[in-house]
Copies of this chain bind each other. A is one copy, B any other.
Amino acid sequence: MAVAMIELAGQRCEACRRGAPAATEAEIAEFSKQIPEWEIVDRGGIPALERVFRLGDFVEAMAFANRVGELAEEQGHHPALLTEWGRVTVTWWTHKIGNLHVNDFVMAAKTDAAFGGG
């Protein structure tokens, strides 16, 4: 049950291959503490991490979506970004395994950092 206390936002996203292990329950419990504003939602039978970020208007929402998009490209792991007037809903999950991977928690933490630094 021991999960190393890793500071998520500082991690790199590991390349995720088909068959890579999904996050374990212990990892999910531990990592969720570091990203308390995210919830695990069901996306057509696949668990995903999701958070709604509030921004001032459409332009700010688009700018934040772009920051998250750049992060995604850097790390080679891509979210769904729903951009609307004054908000962006960010959803992370791992397509190749149809599940949550540790990468998704890393990316959620990086998204929080990008928002805080925005």
Contact = CB atoms under 8 A, between A and B. Distances in A.
Contacts of A78: 58, 84-85
- Categorize the interface residue count of chain A: 10 to 19
B58 A72 contact: yes
A24 interface: no
A95 B86 CA distance: 13
A94 interface: no
What is the copy number of this chain in the assembly?
A: 2
Interface string A84-113: 110000000001000000000000000000
Contacts of A72: 58
A73 B69 CA distance: 20
A59 B65 CA distance: 12
Contact of A81 (B73, B79, B82, B95): B82
A59 B82 CA distance: 15
